[in-house]
Amino acid sequence: MATIKADEIKLAPQNNGNDKVNGLRVPSAPSTHIIKPTFVRDSHAMDFPWKIKWNAETCIRCGSCVATCTFGAIKPQLQRKGQALSTGHLPSPIEATEVIMAIKQVNDPKYYCRGCEMCEKVCPTDSIKPVPNEQHRFPLVARHGGSPIKRGGRGHHIPIRVLDYIKVGRISQMTDPSLDAARHTFDLLTPLGRGLPADELPFKVENGKLVPGGSIPPMRWIYPVIIGDMSVGALSWRMWEALALAVAYLNEECKMPVRMSSGEGGMPSRLLKSEFLKYFIIQIASGHFGWNRIIKAMPEMVTDPAAILIKIGQGAKPGDGGLLPAEKVASHIQAIRGVPKADLMSPPNHQGLYSIEESVQKMFLSMNAAFKFRVPVAIKVAASSTSVAVFNNLVRDPYQIVGGYFLDGIQGGTGAAHEVSMDHTGHPILSKLRDCYLAAVDQGKQGQIPLFVGGGFGDTGDLAADAFKAICLGANGVFSAKIWLQLAGCVGNEKGRCNACNTGYCPVGICTQDHRLVARLDVDAVAQNIVDYFLALDQELKKLMAPIGNSTLPIGRSDALVSMSKSAAERLQIAYAC
Amino acid sequence: MCRMAAIKSKTPVPPALALRMMLAMQKGHDNSGFAMVMQDLGGAFAEFKKFPLLSMACTSQGLERAEELLEELGFSPKFDYQPDVVNKPGLDFRRMPHYIFRNYRYPEPLNAAYPNQPTPEQKKLLVETRLKLREVLSHDKQGFVYSFWPDVLTLKEVGDPRDIGTYFQMWDDNHWLKARVISAQCRQNTNYRIVRYAAHPFFLEGYTLMGNGENTFYQKNKEFQQRLHPAYIGFESDTQCFLYTLHYIREELGWPLPYYKHVITPLTFEEMQRRSDADVLMRVRQSLMHLEINGPNTVVFVLPDGAMGVIADAKKLRPYVIGKDGDLVVSASEVCGVNMIIPDRNTEADIYPGERETVLIDNALEVQRWQQ
Ligand code: SF4
Ligand code: SF4
């Protein structure tokens, strides 16, 4: 069969090219008018999860969208536009063409549209927007070159959200009075730090009073919602600063002892040496990033941090180490972490730890000793089928030095990970929270190692309700991260929008180190948003506690909950209701 | 709401007082029962105060099994009182075939001494024996054992308190049974499937306790207590948890009484932080967080030495009033209950325990009150 080459396809000439209608040049007969054949292997916008809809009629060609798109997913392109023109009394149409500027979606998977909607946001005439493309083939075109797909943000393959099936169903009606959320006093604090069984408290009775009579593991009473670990590096310095500002304000002005985890990436020296350090939980992970600076700052610390959090794993990508792509390792990040510009990969394991028992001795003791046993040392692990075994081991540790168990579920977020890890590894959090709590109950050790859970709490925007349900199931509190980014303007979501946190091109300046993008973030406004959210959350928590008649946190009060899913009820050991 | 009546008197008084108080406080239909613990006994048991007194209701088979067990353990009967009953037709209550109120001698070698308060070994044996009896009787529902302790008698019945009183002739002011300390409680209306073990007052190792209200942290209390002590069992009622906590604080931890209030209704953090003992209180709160009650409750208790205490919940959501007249301190969940017995007292001296208060009435009827 004869093959036709592209340049053989020609259109017949129609005029000589000098005709003008209304000042528009009627194009010359395109004697070499070439139609390129489409090669099926070429990628196309139809392969991508988002397609750009652009309206040529209303677009005023200001270029804002192209300038705003950080992913290079759209480009201006000259386009010849054909039209029929007729000028006389009687219709005598002739074909005319015009060269116009068009906005085109880039067809290269490297520059695929993330659906971040920034173009839509900046367009003054509502002429452009991304629309989801359900029929896309992105997983098939994105592995070109043999590299696995990487992404940031959150996982996508979560079929149901069990928290939404759970309701607060035990309402005080006549048998006991509901409280008044606005007028009663509520005590919303939770302990962080090892609790001792009452008969082991080092107290003596003197003159009818208990008086301290020995050493005791450090403990703090804190707000039950912790700002989860996000590092300077994964976050832009301004985003991290906004979080830190909000935390300081909540503590100093609103008297809410909210604590924030530093993430694995160190902290600014000035903060390390300030009074505000007490509001921060310093994280140490397998890469030990930032610890050079932390250790050097120790002699100059004027107060102790809230806690130390040893990160073993992360719910969004369990079994995988941290990942900070070189694009995000700007000079200030190099300084804080003490590293050169390179991909920064924390190993999946703490090197040198080979068993729970030994890690308790080595890691916990050294961290405890570093701060002279004045600071609670907690551990963060990814939820897994093995969570209870680890928990039991820590609960029984004879040194009583594990000050908290942070369990991170599959719905957590991450700055950067392999997509296969994010979407397919991990364990939902609720059942593991419940298992750990009930394991403590079985041993009569509930509360001795406070349980904090994370991973998807606040995903729908209602963090108070999610936190409350987790608390009733046995959590001392929750840690949450993505929601604060969302309050800062993050456009990412669970349905695949954006999630480009790994690229360094975060369109809203949250997780990028590029000055031009970071400038998009208004630190004060973000801090205020976060403070406002916490204040509202505080009211909402009370609104949930009041109807069940409780003025202190109902930790483990699972009888307050009902589940509208039978299987969830059975698994979590709460009542089924329909 | 449960209605409670507690009497502490210098001279032994009959249970009719408690019954009358109950009827004064009754609202609406009522047939869910009457329960009462009498301590520091007069009447028939006055001479046997130091001998463990078994209070039990059972079937014939249950009685046989219980007697076998006690014999096996070496207990021997000292004094047995068979109450005369009035078995009129139409009495509305669930009768048991046998009511046992019997004093026993300790087995050897614990029978060497009969001190005012049982020795630690005697205490241990009595608690263990009651638990064993309970287990034996629970097979095939052969009966209930409420207390096995010197100078303590318990009756728990399900039905109309009026009829229960008639059956045991308790309306009689010259009843065979009298006591200086009586704690009594009736439930009303809400619970038709009530079991006898769910009726307070509860008794454990010298401690008696009843409460009116709802323990909203019942599940937390229960999950925590069930691992603390072998006698912390049953949990048929959320009020049992208050007794176990009191017992735990005093007997197991040996902490002074004021810490009971600190555990069940801790101060707010704001209040704690202002105190010099904040460190201790915060640790107590952390370690015993699961023993907080956090609901509407007034708790009335009797300590092993006979002192009677009252504690309200931290929001004072349940009423309670204590009145005193001469040799009698009478307290009840409603003032009409107190008025029934001592109408002519100086009501201005009545005590309505506050949300941070503990009230303690000793054997001389001196009233101590302190703020948490
Ligand atoms: S939606 Fe975002 S990624 Fe897509 S074209 Fe618009 S700005 Fe670029
Ligand atoms: S907006 Fe920024 S932080 Fe949010 S998903 Fe996109 S890249 Fe990540």
* Tens digits of residue pLDDT in B244-262: 999 999 999 999 999 999 9
State the ligand closest to the CA atom of A53.
1
In a domain, A128, yes or no: no
A154 found inside a domain: no
How far apart, in whole angstroms, are the C-alpha atoms of residue A113 and residue A377? 43
Q: Which residue has the higher pLDDT, A2 or B90?
A: B90
CA distance B25 to B223: 34
Is A165 domain-assigned?
no
Q: Which residues of A144-163 are buried (b: 16+ CB within 10 A; e: fewer)?
A: eeeeeebbbbbbeebeeebb
Mean pLDDT of all residues in B261-268? 96
More confident residue, B86 or A240: A240
Cross-strand bridge partners of residue A280: A260
Q: What band does B189 get if pLDDT is binned at 50, 70 and 90?
A: low
- Residue-wise pLDDT tens digits, A524-553: 999 999 999 999 999 999 999 999 999 999
Kindly state whether residue A241 falls inside one of the protein's structural domains: yes
Cα dihedral A193→A198→A200→A206 (10° resolution): 110
Shortest-distance atom of ligand 2 to CA A489: 1
Q: Pick the ligand that lies closest to the CA of residue A517.
A: 2
pLDDT of A442 over the 50 cut: yes
Structural contact between residues A428 and A453, judged by C-beta atoms closer than 8 angstroms: no
Cβ within 8 Å, pair A552-B284: no
Task: Report pLDDT for A171.
Answer: 86
Q: What is the pLDDT of residue A526?
A: 98
What's the pLDDT band for A5 if we cut at 50, 70, 90? very low
Write the CA distances from A101 to A29, A95, B9, B99, integer angstroms.
Answer: 22, 20, 101, 101
What is the pLDDT at residue A6? 41
Ligand 1 center to residue A68 CA distance, Å? 8
Peptide bond between residue B201 and the one before it cis (omega within 30 degrees of 0): yes
The 3-state DSSP class for residue A144 equals helix
Query: What confidence tens digit (pLDDT) does each residue in A198-242 have?
Result: 999 999 999 999 999 889 999 999 999 999 999 988 999 999 999
Q: Report the pLDDT averaged over residues A553-564.
A: 97
Strand partners, A168: A561
What phi, psi does A575 have (nearest 5°)? -75, 145
Contact at 8 Å (CB) between A105 and A51? Answer: yes
Report the pLDDT value the prediction gives residue A280, as an integer from 0 to 100.
97
Yes or no: say if B150 and B54 are a contact pair by the CB < 8 Å rule: no
Chain A: residues touching B (Cβ < 8 Å): 172, 175-177, 179, 184-185, 187, 189, 191, 195-199, 201, 203, 205, 208-212, 216, 219, 221, 441-444, 446-447, 548-552, 554-559
As a whole number, mean pLDDT of residues B63-70 equals 96
- Answer whether A185 sits within 8 Å of B268, measured CB to CB: yes
Q: Provide the number of structural domains found in chain A.
A: 1
Structure confidence at residue A22 (pLDDT) = 54
pLDDT at A121 over 60: yes
For A429-441, write each residue's pLDDT tens digit: 999 999 999 999 9
What are the residues facing A418 on neighbouring strands? A150
Residue in A closest to B256 by C-alpha: A208
Q: A308 CA to chain B: closest CA distance, Å?
A: 20
**Does ligand 2 lie within 6 Å of residue A59's CB atom?**
no
Strand (E) or helix (H) holding A476: none
Is it the case that residue A32 has pLDDT exceeding 60? no
Strand residue runs (E) in A37-173: 50-54, 74-85, 94-105, 128-132, 150-154, 166-168
> Is a pLDDT exceeding 60 seen at residue A27?
no
Tell me, what's the pLDDT at A15?
Answer: 47
pLDDT of residue B274: 95
- The per-residue pLDDT for A24 is 53
A13 has pLDDT over 70 = no
- Can you tell me which residue has the tokens 């009335």? B300
Residue A64, pLDDT score: 96
Predicted TM-score (pTM) of this structure: 0.91
Return the residue in B1, B2, B189, B219 with the most chain A beta carbons within 10 A, the one to mutate for interface testing.
Answer: B219
Alpha-carbon distances, residue A509 vs A124, A139, A486 (angstroms)? 21, 27, 12
- Can you tell me the mean pLDDT for B210-232? 93
Nearest CA in chain A to B277: A211
Distance A496 CA to ligand 2 centre (A): 11
Q: Kindly give the number of the ligand 2 atom that is closest to the alpha carbon of A509.
A: 2
Q: Quick one: pLDDT band at residue B190, thresholds 50, 70, 90?
A: low
pLDDT above 70 (res B199): yes
Predicted local confidence at residue B147, as pLDDT? 97
Q: With both helix axes pointing from N to C terminus, report the angle between A429-442 and A387-395 in degrees, rounded to the nearest 10.
A: 30
**pLDDT at site B31:** 65
Contact A499 CB / ligand 2 (< 6 Å): yes
By the CB < 8 Å criterion, does B278 face chain A? no
Which residues, in sequence order, are CB contacts of A513 under 8 Å at separation 6+?
Answer: A233, A236, A237, A328, A329, A330, A332, A333, A504
Taking the mean position of all CA atoms in its chain, how far away is CA A7? Answer: 51
Assess whether the C-beta atom of A483 lies below 6 angstroms from ligand 2.
no
User: Using a CB-CB distance cutoff of 8 angstroms, which residues of chain A are in contact with residue B219?
Assistant: 556-559
Closest CA in chain A for residue B264: A552
> In this structure, are strands A203-206 and A24-25 parallel, antiparallel, or unpaired?
unpaired
DSSP β-bridge partners for residue B120:
none
Residue A575: inside a domain, yes or no?
no
Which of A175, A185, A201 lies closest to B283 in CB terms?
A201
Tokens (6 digits) for B260: 């009971």
Positive or negative, the CA dihedral A193, A454, A311, A383 is positive
When CB atoms are compared, the residue of A175, A199, A552 closest to B292 is A552
Predicted pLDDT at A8: 42
Residues 6+ apart with CB under 8 A from B64: none
Note the pLDDT of residue B143. 95
Question: What would the DSSP string read from start to end of B190-216?
Answer: S-TT--GGGSSPEEETTEEEEEEE--T
**Least confident interval from A351-355, A503-507, B296-300:** A351-355
| Within a domain: A161 | no
Q: Measured between beta carbons, which residues in chain A are less than 8 angstroms from residue B294?
A: 549-552, 554
Question: With bands split at pLDDT 50, 70 and 90, how would you rate the model's confidence at B268?
Answer: very high
Q: Which amino acid is at B177?
A: L
For A220, name the nearest residue in chain B, comparing CA atoms only: B282
How far apart are alpha carbons A116 and A500 in whole angstroms?
9
Confidence of residue A10 (pLDDT cuts 50, 70, 90): very low
Determine, yes or no, domain membership for A95.
no
Question: Is the pLDDT higher at B197 or at B207?
Answer: B207
What CA–CA distance (Å, rounded) separates A291 from A280?
Answer: 15
**B368 and B362 in contact (C-beta within 8 Å)?**
yes
Lowest pLDDT segment from A289-293, B72-76, B327-331: A289-293
pLDDT digits (tens, 9 = 90+) for B118-174: 999 999 999 999 999 999 999 888 999 999 999 999 999 888 888 899 999 999 888
Find all residues with CB under 8 Å of A33, minimum gap 6, and list them.
A10, A11
ipTM of this complex prediction, to 2 decimal places: 0.92
- Average pLDDT of span A68-96: 88
Residue A276 DSSP class: G
B contacts of A558 (beta carbons < 8 Å): 219
Closest approach atom of ligand 1 to CA A118: 7
Chain A interface disruption, residue of B227, B253, B261, B286, most A CBs within 10 A: B286
Quick one: pLDDT at residue A31?
Answer: 46
A462 burial class (0-12, 13-18, 19+ CB within 10 angstroms)?
middle
Per-residue pLDDT, A14: 47
Q: What is the pLDDT of residues A153-207, one digit of tens each?
A: 888 788 889 999 999 998 887 777 788 888 888 999 999 999 999 999 999 999 9
Average pLDDT over residues B221-238: 94
How far is CA A222 from each of CA A250, A257, A380, A497, rounded to the nearest angstrom?
12, 5, 17, 34
Q: Which domain holds residue A441?
A: 214-487+523-555
- Per-residue pLDDT, B307: 96
CA distance B226 to B244: 10
Residue of B nearest to A219 (CA): B283
- CATH number (domain holding residue A453): 3.20.20.70
Any domain includes A286: yes
For chains A and B, CB pairs below 8 A equal: 116
Q: Is the pLDDT of residue A7 over 70?
A: no
- Which pLDDT does position A183 carry in this prediction? 82
A119 CB within 6 A, ligand 1: yes
Per-residue confidence at A326, pLDDT binned at 50, 70, 90?
confident
Residue A189: its chain B contacts at CB < 8 A? Answer: 269
Average pLDDT over residues A243-272: 95
> Of A3-17, A489-503, B100-114, B326-340, which gets the smallest average pLDDT?
A3-17
Domains and CATH numbers, chain B: 3-371 (3.60.20.10)
